[in-house]
Amino acid sequence: MLVSRVSRAGILMLRGLSRGKLTPITRAGYIQRPYGQYLQPWFERQTETKVFQGSIFLKHHNFSTTTTANASEEGSEKEETISVTFVDKDGEEQHIKVPIGMSMLEAAHENDIELEGACEGSLACSTCHVIVMDMEYYNKLEDPADEENDMLDLAFGLTETSRLGCQVIAKPELDGIRLAIPAATRNFAVDGYVPKPH
Amino acid sequence: MAIFQARTLLSRSFSTLSSHPLRVCVVGSGPAGFYTAEKMLKAHQEAQVDIIDRLPTPFGLVRSGVAPDHPETKIVINQFSRVARHDRCSFFGNVTLGSSVSLLELRELYHVVVLAYGAESDRALGIPGEDLVGIHSAREFVWWYNGHPDCKNLDLNLKNTDTAVILGQGNVALDVARILLRLATELATTDIASHALAALEESSIRKVYLVGRRGPVQAACTAKELREVLGIKDLCIHLQEADLLKTPKDEEEIKNNRIQRRVYELLYKAATTGPSHPRSGQRELHFVFFRKPDRFLESDERKGHVSGVHFEKTVLKDVGDGKRIAVGTGQFEDLECGMVLKSIGYKSVPVDGLPFDHQKGVVPNIRGRVLRNTSGDPTLLEEGLYVCGWLKRGPTGIIATNLYCAEETVVSISEDLNLLASKASLPKPGREGLLHLLDNRKVKFLQFSAWEKIDSTETRLGSLKNKPRDKLTTWEELLKVARE
């Protein structure tokens, strides 16, 4: 599971490198002490080690920059986006455009939407839990993998249409999707829900 | 040196803050502490937050609790490091609440004190033989393999026996079982402490028993951890199929709890698909249900050493509210082993001047506000004193639980500050006062930059061994590198 996601990131990064357009660290704040070392074997230790460290989290940011830059030069591809609405804890709506291929976690962060991402999309926490607000859209998503379900087990205020934001990847059919960010405090205090011990 | 440090810190803080900052001190730099700090900084632009920790290293259980083969779980350190480097935040390591500075002093220095120092002790079983050599708490074992400087010299002997019994079936128990059973070569590329890796390489332990008082439906672990331990390479899993029979009550419990349902399904699958006979020398993991430890057995050959556990079989009994507890049946059974790890829960330790509920092992509080006593009277509050994390709600939950826990505490703090607007605006010495006090006591605090030195040293040493880091595991080494 992780391997396939990582290699996907790797391909994107390599593509970026071959075009020589890649900005090594686009959002300096994000990756300071990444555990990217673990990923290196899959990338055959390229010279641009720094780029690969934490690449999962940055990949689409880099990629989209690259595509946009190339679109004018080569006229080959135009950046495709879909409309996504985030509904935050207070019920405020935010409408954003998300490039195809980008995860909702990355999209939220690029748009300063408050969605936690403690493990930075490595499928090791449940903090980017979102609730797909329409069943119709939920059904357009592939079923969550065991690993995602394992994390959803621990999410606060889990619903029938809960997903992890890092696992929902923008694709054309999802145009118009609405995602609610669960109101954490309310769930914690009122339901008194206590997850199983660590 | 310390004075110079203090001056730099002060000039920085004065330049970025209004003349009356809200002085906040967070005790403990684990997830509860960092999430509290982050949310306080966000909610109060005038807040200046100091995080103190008794260790030179920050991040609490993310460093010393999360298993070395779970690097993804530790990524949250990135987020915490950004908080620590925030303009209005400072980290002071090597500062111990109770000895370097008292709680009373902290409360005089700061408008708001949030205690988030977790649970650094263990629950005891209170049964005969608990002090025998070879019996440890899982916490000690976890600290040992994670290189916590207080457990480097844990008297562990992994070469005397081929069998270890783990009491408890929560995630900590599963972590410990996994570390004992995984091939050391697989752990060699993690950030496991080098002394632990060396000991595990020579370990003669081949059989691990995970023993729970209740049944597979009530197992306290989560699916992820269970899936992982069941998936260990070349491991033979044992489970009594009779234990998997469900009562109507079990069915009901499973129906209402997704985690329990998925855990049960995994156990069921493991029992029905696994090979039944291990090859000789193959490692074995035994899940044992419906047993509670009655006493520990002492070895005849090696006086003072544990040689087994005397268990009583149990059944589940209704105690109302849909709750069921394990009660003994009067039938007993022995299990031979040379090592026992008790994974039955962590326990918080109080400090002077702090109300404490010894029965629950937490600080009495309402939504993070510390109460003067355990009577539950919500009007008797300890003004300006709050709790978060395990000290507030007991030792359960995952890292993310602290996110919500901190949010709740910070909401309480904000509500109180609004009510006490006039009082809170009285200036307090905060960081300046703390540094002055530490200086007078010759307490050599360490800032976040000192941790960064430790961090880069560990990373460099790790790269020589193909590990993400090679942890410094003694106080001497840590302090030496920090002060270079």
What's the length of chain A? 198
Residue A129 token pair: 């839990």
Please report the pLDDT score of residue A185 as a whole number.
Answer: 42
Q: What is the mean pLDDT of chain A?
A: 68
Residues B122, B191, B117, B222, CA torsion sign: negative
A56 Ramachandran zone, left/alpha/beta (phi>0; psi -120 to 50): alpha
Please report, as a single letter, which amino acid is at residue A192: G
Rounded Cα distance, A103 and A98, in Å: 8
Q: Is B372 exposed, middle or buried, given 0-12, 13-18 or 19+ CB atoms closer than 10 A?
A: middle
Backbone region of residue B260 per phi and psi (left: phi > 0; alpha: psi in -120 to 50; beta: other values) = alpha
**Which pTM was predicted?**
0.85
**Average pLDDT value for residue range A147-158:** 94
Angle (nearest 5°) at CA B173 between B259 and B364: 75
Which helix (H) or strand (E) is B313 found in, with range? strand B306-318
Please report the pLDDT score of residue B14 as a whole number.
44
pLDDT, position B322: 77
Position B274 scores a pLDDT of 65
CB contact at 8 A, B50 and B24: yes
Out of A34-48, B11-25, B256-270, pick the least confident.
A34-48
Cβ of residue B172 closer than 8 Å to a chain A Cβ:
yes
ipTM: 0.89
- Asked if the Cβ–Cβ distance from A184 to B393 is below 8 Å, we say no
Q: Within a 13 Å sphere around the CA of B130, how many CA atoms are in the beta-carbon half? A: 12
Which residues contact residue B452 at a Cβ distance below 8 angstroms, ignoring those fewer than 6 apart?
none
- The confidence band for A89, taking pLDDT boundaries of 50, 70 and 90, is confident
Q: CA separation (Å) from B252 to A19, B132, B185, B217? A: 58, 41, 43, 10
Residue numbers in A near B411 (CB within 8 A): 185
> What are the backbone dihedrals phi and psi of residue B93, each rounded to the nearest 5 degrees, phi first?
-85, 170
Other C-beta atoms lying within 10 Å of the C-beta of residue B154: 16
Top pLDDT among B186 and B13 is at: B186
Q: Is the model more confident about A53 or about B356?
A: B356
**Residue in A122, A123, A195 nearest the CB of B398:** A195
B301-335: per-residue pLDDT in tens?
999 999 999 999 999 999 888 789 999 999 999 99
Instruction: Dump pLDDT digits (tens) for B440-464.
Output: 999 999 999 999 999 999 999 999 9
Please compute the mean of the pLDDT values over residues B326-348 and round it to a whole number: 97
Q: Is the pLDDT of residue B357 over 50?
A: yes
pLDDT band at A90 (very low <50, low <70, confident <90, very high): confident
Tell me the pLDDT band of B379, cut-offs 50, 70 and 90: confident
**B169 is annotated as contributing to ligand binding:** yes
pLDDT reading at A67 higher than 50:
no
Chain A positions contacting chain B at CB under 8 Å are: 29-35, 37-38, 116, 118-120, 122-127, 146-147, 149-151, 153-154, 156, 158, 184-185, 187-189, 194-198
Residues B444, A174: Cα–Cα separation, whole Å: 56
**CA nearest neighbour of B177 among B162, B167, B166, B188:** B166
**Would you give the DSSP letter of residue B21?**
P
**Looking at residue A91, what is its pLDDT?**
87
Q: How do B346-347 and B121-122 pair as beta strands? A: antiparallel
- The first and second tokens of residue A134, run together, are 């329409």
SS3 of residue B431 by DSSP: helix
Distance between CA atoms of residues B245 and B217, nearest Å: 10
Which has the closest alpha carbon to B429: B419, B418, B415, B440? Answer: B440
Q: Which of A76-90, A167-181, B153-167 has the lowest mean pLDDT?
A: A76-90
pLDDT grade, residue A26 (50/70/90)? very low
The overall average pLDDT reported for chain B is 93
Q: Which two tokens stand for residue B179?
A: 């570390």
User: What mean pLDDT is predicted for residues B368-375?
Assistant: 93
